[in-house]
């Protein structure tokens, strides 16, 4: 057995103070108790397996939200363009004459073909209406509605994307067959 001065001398040689050597001695396991080795090699795989499904759901939701936003922005652009074409009677009396006639064969078909997204092109309902009549100075409204589903496989989160634009008529619309009255 070592005496206290031998312990102190040894602690000073190692570079520890007397208090540090007491702390180190108290942290050590008592004699006869071997430290059990625990294996943690599969822990990361289990944690990853638990988190990967919710993480993929969040990423897929962000992507579908982006697609829906793209559809809505595309529909809003088409509504604005349609209202402008309707306000100037499809450019028939433009100076110089327009080389592109959006009313050929009709404005609704042209607007449907303007969709950049193929999903929006096939399912969009377009309505052109003149709430106060078809005279210059009165408004014309173009409204687009399209169904959209956040999870198309199971039909979860289905709603309707609406876009509309209203402009004042500059010319009397002769090329646009639309009903007089509020838009549906």
What pLDDT digit, counting tens, does each position of 78-107 carry? 999 999 988 888 866 655 555 677 777 788
154 within domain boundaries: yes
14 within domain boundaries: no
Higher pLDDT, 39 or 69: 69
Counting every residue written for the chain, the total comes to 184
161 within domain boundaries: yes
Domain range for 85:
62-180
Q: Check: pTM over 0.85? Answer yes or no.
A: no
Evaluate whether 172 touches 134 at the Cβ level (below 8 Å): yes
46 within domain boundaries: no
Q: How many CB atoms lie within 10 A of CB 102?
A: 23
176 within domain boundaries: yes
Closest C-alpha to 128, from 183, 170, 168, 173 = 183
Q: What's the structural domain count of the chain? A: 1
Q: How many CB atoms lie within 10 A of CB 78?
A: 25
35 within domain boundaries: no
34 within domain boundaries: no
């Amino acid at each position: 057995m070592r005496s206290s001065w031998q312990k102190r001398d040894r602690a000073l040689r190692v570079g520890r103070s007397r208090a540090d050597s007491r702390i180190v001695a108290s942290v050590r396991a008592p004699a006869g108790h071997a430290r059990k080795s625990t294996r943690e090699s599969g822990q990361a795989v289990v944690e990853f397996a638990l988190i990967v499904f919710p993480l993929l759901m969040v990423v897929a939701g962000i992507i579908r939200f982006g697609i829906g936003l793209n559809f809505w922005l595309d529909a809003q652009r088409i509504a604005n363009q349609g209202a402008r074409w309707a306000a100037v009677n499809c450019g028939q009396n433009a100076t110089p004459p327009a080389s592109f006639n959006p009313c050929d064969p009709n404005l609704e078909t042209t607007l449907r073909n303007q969709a950049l997204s193929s999903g929006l092109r096939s399912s969009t309902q377009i309505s052109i209406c003149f709430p106060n009549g078809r005279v210059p100075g009165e408004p014309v409204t173009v409204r687009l509605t399209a169904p959209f589903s956040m999870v198309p496989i199971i039909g979860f989160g289905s709603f309707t994307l609406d876009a509309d634009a209203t402009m004042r008529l500059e010319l009397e619309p002769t090329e646009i067959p639309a009903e007089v009255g509020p838009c549906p």
